[in-house]
């Protein structure tokens, strides 16, 4: 792997270092893979993300947005990409969509300090909150895979079509697949509506997106309880 395609985190001297292709260097070309198991913890991963230029989103970010919640959470929520509030604070889902997400989780007594870890497919904000491109998703994917490895959740909730496509590659519309359990790499995944979509569709009528979300989050709670009971 050529050093020209890598960004040194700790100065030029490390380009000659023996651990050349490991933690000190980020491949700046998105086509160069970041191997599984590179990061010892989320702090190391976050340092890399904040120096990352594997795609052009690195040029316009204020902060890379890595995750929040419990680093040992049994449930991971994956969103699309940071918005303005998230870019400013460096924390995912802290705007209006995030507040709604918190309410949804709290409605079934899931606690973001204890039970849940929240992150996104893309760590940097796309300009004007556009949907990340396939190239941007692929460039960032190793970070998401490392987060999943490190947090090791049993259940992954994929909010919206981009999260589903970004992690498991399923390109079907979210309306078709929401609420269905899927297995990915030995983990249970459920596609759910993105909270922003619920903000645009506030009706609570039977069959509405909000009503469907209520069904889905109850199914998640029930599955989580089942897993915990089976482990006892
Ligand atoms: N929407 C997302 O998908 N992620 C965030 O972090 C905020 C809004």
- Residue 27, pLDDT score: 77
- Report helix, strand or coil for 76: strand
Domain boundaries defined on the chain: 11-231
Q: Confidence class of residue 15 from pLDDT cuts 50, 70 and 90?
A: very low
- CA dist 176 and 182 (Å) reads 13
What CATH number does the domain located at 11-231 have?
3.40.470.10
- Residues 110, 70: contact at Cβ < 8 Å? no
Which atom of ligand 1 sits closest to the CA of residue 80?
3
- Residue 31, pLDDT score: 79
- CA dist 25 and 48 (Å) reads 8
- CA dist 118 and 112 (Å) reads 8
Ligand 1 pocket, CB under 6 A: 79-83, 86, 92-93, 95, 97-98, 120
pLDDT at 19 over 90: no
- Residue 10, pLDDT score: 44
Residue-wise pLDDT for 91-141, tens only, equals: 999 999 999 999 999 999 999 999 999 999 999 999 999 999 999 999 999
Mean pLDDT for 71-84 is 98
Regarding beta strands 6-8 and 75-79, do their DSSP bridges make them parallel or antiparallel, or are they unpaired? Answer: unpaired
- Residue 26, pLDDT score: 76
CA of 109 to the centre of ligand 1 (A): 21
Sheet holding 67-69, edge to edge: 67-69, 116-120, 75-79, 155-159, 187-192, 182-184
- Entry pTM: 0.92
Residue with tokens 């519309």: 173
CA of 192 to the centre of ligand 1 (A): 14
């Amino acid at each position: 792997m050529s050093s020209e395609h890598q960004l040194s985190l700790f100065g030029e001297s490390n380009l000659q270092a023996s651990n050349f292709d490991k933690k000190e260097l980020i491949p700046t070309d998105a086509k160069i893979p970041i191997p599984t198991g590179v990061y010892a913890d989320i702090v190391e991963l976050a340092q890399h993300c904040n120096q990352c230029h594997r795609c052009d989103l690195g040029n316009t970010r204020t902060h890379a947005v890595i995750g929040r919640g419990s680093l040992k959470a049994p449930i991971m929520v994956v969103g699309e990409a940071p918005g303005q509030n998230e870019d400013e604070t460096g924390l995912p889902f802290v705007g209006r969509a995030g507040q709604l997400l918190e309410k949804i989780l709290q409605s079934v007594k899931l606690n973001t300090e204890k039970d849940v870890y929240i992150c996104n497919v893309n760590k940097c904000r796309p300009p004007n909150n556009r949907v990340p491109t396939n190239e941007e998703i692929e460039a960032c994917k190793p970070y998401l895979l490392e987060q999943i490895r490190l947090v090791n959740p049993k259940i992954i909730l994929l909010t919206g079509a981009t999260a589903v496509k970004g992690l498991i590659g399923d390109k079907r519309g979210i309306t078709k697949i929401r609420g269905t359990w899927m297995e990915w790499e030995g983990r249970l995944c459920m596609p759910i509506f993105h909270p922003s979509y619920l903000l645009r569709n506030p009706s609570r009528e039977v069959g509405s997106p909000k009503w469907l979300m209520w069904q889905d989050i109850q199914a998640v709670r029930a599955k989580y309880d089942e897993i915990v009971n089976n482990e006892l």
